[in-house]
Amino acid sequence: MTQLRAREPLTLPEIAAMKGAGPKIVMVTAYDHPSARLASEAGVDLILVGDSAGNNVLGYESTVPETMDEAVMLTSAVARARPRALIVGDMPFGSFQASDADAVANAVRLIKAGADSVKLEGAGPMASRARAIVGAGIPVMGHLGLTPQSATKLGGMKAQGRTARSASQLLADSRELEAAGCFSLVLESVPARIGTAVTEALTIPTIGIGAGPGCDGQVLVWHDLLGINEGPAPRFVKRYADIGSEIRRGLQAFAADVRSGAYPGEEHVYKISREELDAFEAELRAGDGSAKA
């Protein structure tokens, strides 16, 4: 069994103090126990149990079908790794849109599952949801720009804030979420100059994903940055490893060894003493004799 070390998690004041000072904030997604452990050992600051698990882990075509039960299960798995990174539980589509009461109740479920905070997409009516959750004593991370849960309304998975009007609305929305009590804000797929402008206008940290280097931190999806996902990646993705190819190579080697008989080898099998084997075989022979009789 893996020995769990005592958890000394980062705190919200520590995250807040990283805005505009010192190293940038590092956030990655993680959806299970070993991934959370590795992320924490690598020194990341925030682990987002993203609804991107829907398409990266659960096999859905988008983030939208992920359920609260699934989000709770994944958050619990991450929390059991006891990472030092602060855990952000992503609120799935349908878990907060209907009412403030629903939003608070579902945020409480994620906190009970082990999250330190929650994230929700959008502003406008969603600012009320953020305010209600914060009012219940739960830290909230906002999310603006490309919001995958509402990508259909936005015209698809496209960059946002590329006109003066939409950039101004993005800035207004970010201020609204800050006023609602959000402790940080994800900016996804917006022009770098707009990402910088929003970051400079806020007192809370921004975490960019395709929003340029001017944000206070950056986040990437685990399966994108480690090369597990195949096919074209969003423009903002940088692959730091090719784990997918290595996994495939290992599985192919295992299959070849099994089929050829090379695995298991002598070093992989358990032994029995000659005396115990003789006794076992004697019992087998006696049993065969009884069956024939």
Residue 98: count other Cβ atoms within 10 Å of its Cβ.
11
pLDDT at 179: 98
- Between residues 208 and 231, the one the model is more confident about: 208
Asked if residue 15 has pLDDT above 90, the reply is yes
61 noted as active-site residue: no
Q: What is the pTM of this model?
A: 0.89
Residue 130 pLDDT level (bands cut at 50, 70, 90): very high
12-242 adopts what CATH topology? TIM Barrel (3.20.20)
Judge whether 33 and 80 are in contact, CB under 8 Å: yes
DSSP string, the chain: -PPPPPP----HHHHHHTTTSSSPEEEEE--SHHHHHHHHHTT-SEEEE-TTHHHHTS--SSSTT--HHHHHHHHHHHHTT--SSEEEEEPPTTSSSS-HHHHHHHHHHHHHTT-SEEE---STHHHHHHHHHHHTT--EEEEEES-GGGTTTTTSS-----SHHHHHHHHHHHHHHHHTT-SEEEEES--HHHHHHHHHH-SS-EEEESS-TTSSEEEE-HHHHTT-S-S---TT------HHHHHHHHHHHHHHHHHHT-SS-GGGS----HHHHHHHHHHHHHHHHHHH-
Q: Could you identify the residue written with the tokens 């039960």?
A: 69
Looking at the DSSP assignment, which residues form a beta bridge with residue 218?
26, 208
Judge whether 225 and 237 are in contact, CB under 8 Å: yes
Chain length of the chain = 293
Q: Given 188, 266, 275, 283, which residue is catalytic?
A: 188
Judge whether 36 and 60 are in contact, CB under 8 Å: no
pLDDT in tens, 26-80: 999 999 999 999 999 999 999 999 999 999 999 999 999 999 999 999 999 999 9
- Between residues 249 and 3, the one the model is more confident about: 249
CA separation for the pair 280, 285 (Å, rounded): 9
pLDDT at 249: 97
For the chain, give every domain's residue range. 12-242, 247-292
CA separation for the pair 50, 30 (Å, rounded): 7
